């Protein structure tokens, strides 16, 4: 014969509620990856931003700082969004507060 017999396949028996459990189990790796991503990347970044904001809010006159460009100086003027940075020889630069990346201990800059 050229054609073979076709047999009807039986449908799997319906089980109540196991479909929901299997869909939740299939989403479990995705949820676990998001939780790990949060604790490894997002939370530490938020902590660093919070510390940087606290440091910028605590800036005061006479603080010795380092800017993003690597310039070191002493704060001579303070504003809401900018600072006056004394870099030596009577030269004062106007910079944004966000340019400050580190506050140095007092007496770190000797040449001023």
Asked whether residue 13 is assigned to any structural domain, the reply reads no
In tens, the pLDDT along 31-55 reads 999 999 999 999 999 999 999 999 9
* Residue 76, helix vs strand vs coil: strand
Instruction: Report the C-alpha gap between 76 and 60 in whole angstroms.
Output: 9
Ranges 18-22, 56-60, 94-98: which has the least confidence: 18-22
Contact 109, 66 (CB under 8 A): no
Q: Is the pLDDT reported for residue 19 higher than 60?
A: yes
Question: What ranges in the chain are assigned the alpha helix state H?
Answer: 18-37, 43-57
Residues 53 and 73 in one domain: no
**Total-model pTM:** 0.67
User: Containing domain of residue 69, as a range?
Assistant: 60-104
Residues 65 and 50 in one domain: no
Residues 34 and 54 in one domain: yes
Instruction: Report the C-alpha gap between 102 and 55 in whole angstroms.
Output: 8
The number of folded domains in the chain is 2
* Residue 91, helix vs strand vs coil: strand
Residues 49 and 71 in one domain: no
């Amino acid at each position: 014969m050229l054609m073979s017999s076709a047999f009807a396949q039986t449908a799997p028996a319906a089980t109540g509620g196991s479909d929901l459990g299997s869909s939740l189990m299939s989403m479990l790796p995705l949820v676990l990856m998001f939780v790990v991503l949060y604790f490894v990347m997002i939370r530490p970044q938020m902590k660093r931003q919070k510390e940087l904001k606290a440091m910028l809010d605590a800036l005061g006159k006479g603080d010795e700082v380092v800017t993003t460009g690597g310039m070191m100086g002493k704060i001579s003027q303070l504003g809401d969004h900018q600072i006056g940075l004394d870099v030596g020889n009577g030269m004062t630069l106007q910079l944004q507060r966000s340019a400050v990346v580190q506050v140095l201990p007092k007496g770190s800059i000797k040449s001023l």
